Amino acid sequence: MSTIYAANESSVSLNGKPLDGVRSIEYTRTQEYESVHALGAAERIGVVAGPMGVQGRLQVVSTAKGLDAIAPDFQLIAALVHGDAKLTVTFNHCYITGRSLALSTGGVAESVYEFAASSVGEE
């Protein structure tokens, strides 16, 4: 059975300090692989891992002043919680790669911060 984490119980911190107004966080981890073949054979005999990359997006209400003024090489930690179940996702050596702001009629401003990380870990 899968674990469903609740957004209202979860939190995100920036360099150990809570980040307010977070609406969502998402990330993609990619790893390149190369097939290894024996001489004279068409069948693959192994796989070699190549570069790994982590790209993420953080959506917040209005703006996140902590992220607006941050220098490269920061850490984001997302503590996903539901009852007794907990998953901590740590993004190391991050830097901002983009930012957008949207404001619609009858709504509030929302910013999306795009970031890259050298690694991501789940505990």
Residue with tokens 């920061």: 74
Does residue 43 sit within a domain? yes
Domain that holds residue 89: 6-122
Does residue 29 sit within a domain? yes
Does residue 97 sit within a domain? yes
Query: From first to last of its 123 residues, what are the pLDDT tens digits of the chain?
Result: 788 999 999 999 999 999 999 999 999 999 999 999 999 988 999 999 999 999 999 999 998 988 988 888 999 999 999 989 999 999 999 999 999 999 999 889 999 999 999 999 999
CATH number of 28's domain: 2.30.110.20
Q: Which residues make Cβ contacts (< 8 Å) with residue 3, sequence separation at least 6?
A: 82, 85, 87
Does residue 78 sit within a domain? yes
Does residue 1 sit within a domain? no
For CA atoms 64, 66, 67, 69, the dihedral sign is positive
Does residue 72 sit within a domain? yes
Give the pTM: 0.86
Are 52 and 98 within 8 A, CB to CB?
no
Are 123 and 60 within 8 A, CB to CB?
no
Q: How many CA atoms lie within 13 A of 39 on its CB side?
A: 0
Q: How many domains does the chain have?
A: 1
